[in-house]
Amino acid sequence: MTKMAASIVEHGEDAFRKLFKFYKRRNPPPDLSDVIDFSKIVKHEKVFPTELNPGAVSDAEARRAGLRPIRDWTAFGLQGYPGSQQHWVRQCLKTYPEKPNVCNLDMHMAPTETQDIWGRSADTLRKTGSRVREPKTLLEKLRWVTLGYHYNWDTKTYSADHYTPFPSDLHSISVHVAAACRFPGFNAEAGILNYYRSDSSLGIHVDESELDHTRPLLSFSFGQSAVFLLGGTQREDPPTAMYMHSGDVMVMSGHSRLLYHAVPRVVPAPKGDPLHPSLEEEGLGPGSDQGLAQGEATLIQPVSEEDWAVCSRYIQTSRVNMTIRQVLGSGQAFPAMDTKDKRIDVGHTDGYHDNQDGENVGLKRRRSDS
């Protein structure tokens, strides 16, 4: 790192927090010139190209999962860290928040009120013109959704008795991405979807609630860009800042699987510019067939013009992130739970935004600083 960001970061004294607060700062806004941008990178001291395994996923399998052929992917590694967009936007906004999946709104609203979040929000979001003084829709109040094994925000655990079927389309793309990145046998068992508004941030944390840490964590980003900080095993280790753009996939594995990380800010697309990269430019517009052969089955469904009008309006100012995990290793089972401690509800912690000090107040489990 160089310039302003580097000048405030040294080992010790919670270097991660210092840089997190630097990038989160609103007035004056931070200098973002040190943030690594993988979409534009030519040469960087911390970045190196890495090879995928194109033979792990056939072109036909990739198409069915809504992916480009693996040979067309570009992948990078980070020194010191070994180790069909429209469809997914629509799924995150319209399908995945549906019951029996769980969302933050369930904790302070009646089940009947959260039964159709999309239906209660779509007409309002389709309207053109300023909505500054109008109340937020349920979709705009959405902060997280859990899939598969539902994360319990109170106990910071997963359990066998709080599970709903994992979406087949999301399971398919996760398995293929993991295989292409040389992690065969990955099983997508749990997902946490995070919904970021323009002023949202995600506090400093480590994802360690899964019982098997040998399996990678997959992160898919859509909509507005974000500054992502990847640190070390201690809070005193200074993090590296990088952009996560729409369509980017991050795989945290090996040593990097249990590193501190955070999202201090969402970065709006420049005024008048399309999202980066443009969803429409990728040939993923409503009705696109992803180049499928006639009669070829696919899990990726075309997005109607009507649905995309809502999705497009939403992501003009927002970001959606899907993190997919394998909770149990081969042969593993959840530990027995004492009946008096047993909790199968969604918990009572509604934290998503950070407090003034950049501490996450409930979205993820934080590892001890010892």
207 is in an annotated binding site: yes
Amino acid at 250: M
- Answer yes or no: are the C-beta atoms of 220 and 88 closer than 8 Å: yes
261 is in an annotated binding site: yes
Nearest to 227 by CA among 35, 41, 44: 35
- Helix (H), strand (E) at residue 22: helix 15-24
Amino acid at 237: D
Report the alpha-carbon distance of residue 246 to residue 87 in Å, rounded.
13
Q: Which residue has the tokens 């190196």?
A: 48
Angstrom distances, CA of residue 245 to CA of 22, 224, 269, 279, 350? 20, 7, 10, 11, 27
Residue 124, both tokens: 């309002």
Angstrom distances, CA of residue 216 to CA of 127, 174, 252, 256? 41, 10, 6, 9
Residue 286, both tokens: 């409503």
Report the alpha-carbon distance of residue 149 to residue 367 in Å, rounded.
21
- Answer yes or no: are the C-beta atoms of 96 and 167 closer than 8 Å: yes
11 is in an annotated binding site: no
Report the alpha-carbon distance of residue 151 to residue 148 in Å, rounded.
9
Annotated binding site: 205, 207, 261
Annotated binding site for Fe cation: 205, 207, 261
